[in-house]
Amino acid sequence: VYTAPSARGQGLAGALCTEMMRRARAEGARRAYLQVEGDNHAARSLYHRLGFADAYAYHYRARDPLAA
């Protein structure tokens, strides 16, 4: 979920995620997974408030260090 800088801090991302999970559950979903950059502290904080917990981290590798 990306929130424009001018719209941050208004609870929009949390409301959107909550509604998406509500709709998914109504359609039969029983699990939800997220991927977020480790240094995206605002998103990680939101997702933790929504009940998500860290499971594992990805480590990306490239031959060209400028590729990432």
Asked if pLDDT for residue 68 goes beyond 70, the answer is no
8's enclosing H/E stretch is none
Asked if pLDDT for residue 57 goes beyond 90, the answer is no
How far is Cα 66 from Cα 36, in angstroms, rounded to an integer?
21
**Residues 16 and 1 sit within 8 Å (Cβ to Cβ):** yes
18-44 residue pLDDT tens: 999 999 999 999 999 999 988 999 999
Among 23, 45, 40, which Cα is nearest to 32's? 23
Residue 16 to residues 1, 10, 12, 55, 68, Cα–Cα distance (Å): 8, 11, 6, 22, 29
